[in-house]
Structure 1
Amino acid sequence: MPANSPIGIFDSGLGGLSVLQAVRSLLPHAPLIYCADSRYAPYGERTDAFLSARTVAIGDWLRAQGAKALVVACNTATAHGIAALRAQAEWPVIGVEPGIKPAAQASRSGVIGVLATAATLRSQKFQRLLAEHTNEGRRFLCQPGHGLVECIEAGDIDSPEVMSLLQTYLAPMLDQGVDTLVLGCTHYPFLIPAIRKLTGDRLTLVDTGAAIARQLARQLAANGLTAAESTPLAAPGTLTLCTTAGASALQTMADRLLAQASEVHTVTIEGVSA
């Protein structure tokens, strides 16, 4: 692929916009294609087989659109599908994973909370990551964030329902001495103001968006795919937004979060269905 080709980014829905923000901040001249697979969101309740097949299908679709690299901006899709995608890929594929290592380094109490989807928490990839950083002086309290992704997909990040869910999930962690919280889903950074409202400064919050962007930049450079800033296609603000369901939710969130957000296109991506 030419170096001025776009970077593909996808998530089950709107959450990957938090990663897109980090990529855009670090690589402001890179053209981007973002795909929200909102037709099948949330991924957290899907089967492992579905997640693997769907990740490959969307990766193939983005490659067909001319993407030179792919960011799987979804913890659940990374946990269950990135191995299959990389097995057939001849391009850089960057995944995301909960920030267990930086959380372990940041925690003073040694008690760390992890808020993620049920599918991420049950994955072998996550369990291996957790085992690498668990020792006698360190504990991880893992909590599925049931209902949170659905709220965020509906544009709700601070309603009484959201606050009640967060209180239910976080209060037991705080009672057990958690001082650091891993945001193990790319949707969850949008809840940081709500979490702060509930917990104040009691928690160090770990979000890996910036680290993902840095890894992408390294992979582009290693593969000779870094676009020159003078390339017309790499002009600041070049962004294509796509969704597999209704465009209104993604459009609303993009207009709120992104400068010069473009019109959202509804697309059909064939392959595995629920």
Structure 2
Amino acid sequence: MHDARPLLFFDSGVGGLSVLGPTRALLPHAPIVYAADSAGFPYGTRSDAEIAARVPALLGRLTERFHPRLIVIACNTASTIALAAVRSALDLPIVGTVPAIKPAAEQSVTRTIGVLGTLATVRQGYVEDLTGRFASDCTVLRHGSAALVRLAEAKLRGEATDIAAYRTAIAGLFDQPGGERIDIVVNACTHFPLIADELAQAAPHPVRFVDGGPGIARRIAYLTDGQTWPEEPVAGRAVFTRLGDAEAALAPALRRHGLDSIEAL
């Protein structure tokens, strides 16, 4: 008997694909349901109270519908605000996404790190806690950008994006006092690894970008170690809370990530 229960990935949009990719590399036969709260997108401009109420409720509905073996909140904003509430509400493993400040501090030579996320993520006390625990000897500069989230979504829809828009979006990070010393940037939004080439091109000087995707994938593999999977890869499903033209335009990108069907919640 093989366990057909899926891994459920959750984000406000398609950013969680940057976590799904390395997870599929480790667990190629895992059934996947990818859920995007397109009706609530983008989370980074919403209040903490809205996210804290919305995410547990949606994940409760998704759990009832798909009966996952594990949930991945593949969204930094949702994780930093709602992870504890989701874990309290649901009796199954929940994997969150947190800014990769620890590995950034381990790799930084100049001891100046940039944290690039959404406005909602970079204002969280959780970021300060991670900085105090793992990067206390570093200068950590933060910047939140909703524009980068929209650029990532546009890119995955196949739309052309202008490198000047990326330069404008990240100027608020590098133009801060000390920004010229940044040698490593934490992509504290799962959307941002999807535009890694554009970010590297837009940066005013060479920097490295790090994100939590590979580490999250290893965590998922650890938590599911010893479990059974279907003998052959299973086509994944993408679920949207609002299904319109913008979501339909994502179909080619979703298929590249093994998500062959699109449906509404």
Give the alignment's TM-score, normalised by structure 1: 0.86
Q: How much has 1:90 moved relative to structure 2?
A: 1.3
Counterpart of 1:271?
none
Report the CA distance shift for 1:259/1:145 in structure 2 as closer, same or farther (over 3 A): closer
Aligned to 1:24: 24
Aligned residues between the structures: 258
Give the 5 Å matches for 1:136-147.
137-147=137-147
Q: What is the match of residue 266 of structure 1?
A: 264
What runs of 5+ residues in structure 1 fail to find an aligned partner? 268-274
CA distance in 1, matches of 2:120, 2:103: 22
Distance 1:246 1:215, change over 3 A: same
**Residue matched to 1:213:** 217
CA distance in structure 2 between the aligned counterparts of 1:86 and 1:261, rounded to whole angstroms: 26
Look up the match of 1:164. 167
Mean Cα displacement is larger for which, 248-257 or 118-127? Answer: 248-257
Equivalent of residue 201 in structure 2, options 178, 197, 202: 197
Q: Take 1:196 and 1:216, find their aligned partners in 2: how far apart are those partners?
A: 28
Q: Which residue of 1 aligns with 2:3?
A: 3
Matches within 5 A, 1:1-274: 3-64=3-64, 65-135=66-136, 137-155=137-155, 158-160=161-163, 162-172=165-175, 175-199=179-203, 202-221=206-225, 226-230=227-231, 235-256=232-253, 258=256, 260-267=258-265
| Greater shift in the superposed pair: 166-175 or 145-154 | 166-175
Whole-angstrom distance in 2 between the partners of 1:108 and 1:205 = 14
Q: Which residue identity does 1:47 align to in structure 2?
A: S
Letter in 2 for 1:124: G
CA distance in 2 between counterparts of 1:24 and 1:127 reads 32
Runs of 4+ in 1 over 6 A off after TM superposition: none
The one-letter amino acid of 1:117's match is T
Q: 1:79 to 1:220 in 2, by over 3 A?
A: same
> Could you tell me how far apart the structure 2 residues matched to 1:11 and 1:60 are?
14
State the one-letter code of the partner of 2:108.
S
Counterpart of 1:244, as a letter, is T
Q: CA RMSD in A?
A: 2.2
Question: 35-44 vs 236-245, which deviates more?
Answer: 236-245
CA shift for structure 1 position 68: 1.3
Q: Structure 2: which 5+ residue stretches go unaligned?
A: none
Q: In 2, are the aligned partners of 1:157 and 1:191 still within 8 Å (CA)?
A: no
Cα deviation for residue 207 of structure 1 reads 1.4
Structure 2 contact 164–202 (Cα < 8 Å) conserved: no
Q: Secondary structure at the match of 1:263?
A: strand
Percent identical:
33
Q: Secondary structure at the match of 2:146?
A: coil
Greater mean alpha carbon deviation, residues 189-198 or residues 121-130:
121-130
- SS of equivalent to 1:5: coil
